[in-house]
C-alpha cells in the first residue's frame, strides 16, 4: 500500500478553485494557471466532480489536452453524480459548506456512494477530463461536515459500495490507488480499522495544517504510518487564510483564527520566512505525508508554491512556534 512511489513529486495542484470556488474565474485565467503548474514542473493534479458541478474537471482536461498522459498523475473523486438537468447552485444544501461553488455550473448534483453510482461517476469523470484513465480515485466528503447526523449511514453505503468497487478496479489494474478524500479525521480513522477493503492512501484537507493538527496527530497519522498508508494533505493554507486570504474552513475566518495567523506571521517575519514556506513544509514534515496539494487560480501563485517548497527555513523558527504554543510539541518539523 501507499502512493509515494506513484506520485511524481511532493507538490501537487489542487483544482477546486478552477470550479469557480468563491468567485467566477475567467477561462483564460484557469487555463493559464494549469499551464503555469505544468511549466513549474508539477505533475500531480487533483480534481473532483463536486468542484463547480464538473467545471474543474472540464477545465483541467482541456488544459492538459495534448500533454503526454504518462507524464502526469491524475486523481478525481466519487460520491457525487452530475446530472444534465439544472438547479440553482446557490441554493444547494452543502452542510457546513453552503455557497461554496455558487458560481459553478448549474447542473444538478446528487450524493450517491453506491456501487452503480461509483462506476457511473468514474465514467463521467473520464469524459469530462477527456482522458482514458484515472490514477487515483478518492471517495469524497463522506463525513460530518456535509452529511451531519447521517454521515455514518452514508459511510456504510460507501463501505459496501464505493469502497469495494474501487478496490476491485485497483486490483484489476484499472486504477492505481484509492482512498478517501475528506475534511474530517473520523472517517479515515474508521477506515483504518477495517480489515477489508484496504485503501492505499487518504487525502485529508485542512486537518494537518499550521492552524489545525492536534487531532490528526493523536491517532490518525500514527495509525496511517504504522499501516503504511500515505496521506496527501489538501488545503495546506487552511482555505487561504495562511496565504493572505480571509477564508478558513471555506467560510469567513473568525477573529480567533485571524489572531493566530497574525502571531505566526510575526514569527515568520522575524526569521525571514514566508508564511507559505512554513505552511507547506510543516505539512510535509510528517513521515506519513506523501504530498501537499494547494489550490490556485492565478499563475503567479504556482511559482510562489514551488519557491516555498524549497525555501530554507531555520530551525529556530520551528522552535519559536513550539515555544509560543502555536504548533503541537508532538508535531514533526523539518530538519535543516
Residues with a known catalytic role: 46, 51, 77
The full 3-state SS of 208-250, as one line of letters, equals CCCCCCHHHHHHHHHHHHHHCCEEEEECCCHHHHHHCCCEECC
Residue 169 near residue 175, CB atoms below 8 Å: yes
Q: How many CA atoms lie within 13 A of 114 on its CB side?
A: 6
Contact partners, residue 6, CB within 8 Å, separation at least 6: 73, 135, 136, 176, 177
Calculated CA dihedral for residues 8, 13, 19, 20, nearest 10 degrees: -170
Residue 176 near residue 184, CB atoms below 8 Å: no
- Cα-based angle 102, 108, 109 (whole degrees, multiple of 5): 90
CA pair distance 212, 23, nearest whole angstrom: 25
Q: Are strands 80-86 and 107-111 parallel, antiparallel or unpaired?
A: antiparallel
Helix (H) or strand (E) holding 92: none
Distance from chain centroid for Cα 65: 23
SS3 10: coil
Peptide bond connecting 197 to the previous residue in cis, omega within 30 degrees of 0: yes
SS3 246: coil
Amino acid at each position: 500500500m501507499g502512493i509515494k512511489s506513484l506520485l511524481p513529486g511532493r507538490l501537487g495542484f489542487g483544482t477546486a478553485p478552477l470550479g469557480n470556488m468563491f468567485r467566477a474565474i475567467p477561462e483564460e485565467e484557469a487555463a493559464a494557471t494549469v499551464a503555469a503548474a505544468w511549466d513549474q514542473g508539477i505533475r500531480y493534479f487533483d480534481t473532483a466532480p463536486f468542484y463547480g458541478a464538473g467545471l474543474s474537471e472540464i477545465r483541467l482536461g482541456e488544459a492538459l489536452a495534448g500533454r503526454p498522459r504518462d507524464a502526469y498523475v491524475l486523481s478525481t473523486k466519487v460520491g457525487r453524480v452530475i446530472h444534465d438537468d439544472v438547479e440553482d447552485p446557490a441554493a444547494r444544501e452543502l452542510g457546513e459548506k453552503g455557497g461554496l461553488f455558487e458560481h459553478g455550473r448549474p447542473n444538478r448534483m446528487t450524493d450517491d456512494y453506491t456501487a452503480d453510482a461509483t462506476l457511473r461517476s468514474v465514467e463521467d469523470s473520464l469524459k469530462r477530463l477527456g482522458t482514458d484513465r484515472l490514477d487515483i480515485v478518492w471517495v469524497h466528503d463522506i463525513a460530518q461536515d456535509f452529511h451531519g447526523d447521517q454521515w455514518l449511514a452514508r459511510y456504510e453505503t460507501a463501505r459496501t459500495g464505493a469502497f469495494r468497487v474501487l478496490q476491485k478496479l485497483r486490483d484489476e489494474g484499472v486504477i492505481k490507488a484509492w482512498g478517501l478524500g475528506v475534511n474530517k479525521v473520523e472517517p479515515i480513522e474508521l477506515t483504518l480499522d477495517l480489515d477489508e477493503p484496504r485503501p492505499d492512501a487518504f487525502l485529508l484537507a485542512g486537518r494537518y495544517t499550521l492552524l489545525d493538527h492536534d487531532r490528526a496527530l493523536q491517532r490518525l497519522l500514527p495509525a496511517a504510518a504504522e499501516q503504511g498508508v500515505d496521506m496527501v494533505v489538501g488545503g495546506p493554507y487552511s482555505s487561504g487564510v495562511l496565504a493572505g486570504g480571509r477564508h478558513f474552513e471555506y467560510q469567513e475566518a473568525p477573529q480567533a483564527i485571524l489572531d493566530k495567523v497574525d502571531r505566526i506571521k510575526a514569527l515568520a517575519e522575524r526569521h525571514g520566512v514566508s508564511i507559505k514556506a512554513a505552511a507547506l513544509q510543516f505539512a510535509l514534515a510528517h513521515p506519513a505525508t506523501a504530498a501537499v496539494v494547494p489550490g490556485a487560480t492565478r499563475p503567479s501563485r504556482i511559482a510562489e508554491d514551488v519557491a516555498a517548497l524549497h525555501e530554507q527555513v531555520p530551525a529556530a523558527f520551528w522552535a519559536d512556534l513550539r515555544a509560543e504554543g502555536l504548533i503541537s510539541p508532538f508535531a514533526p518539523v523539518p530538519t535543516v
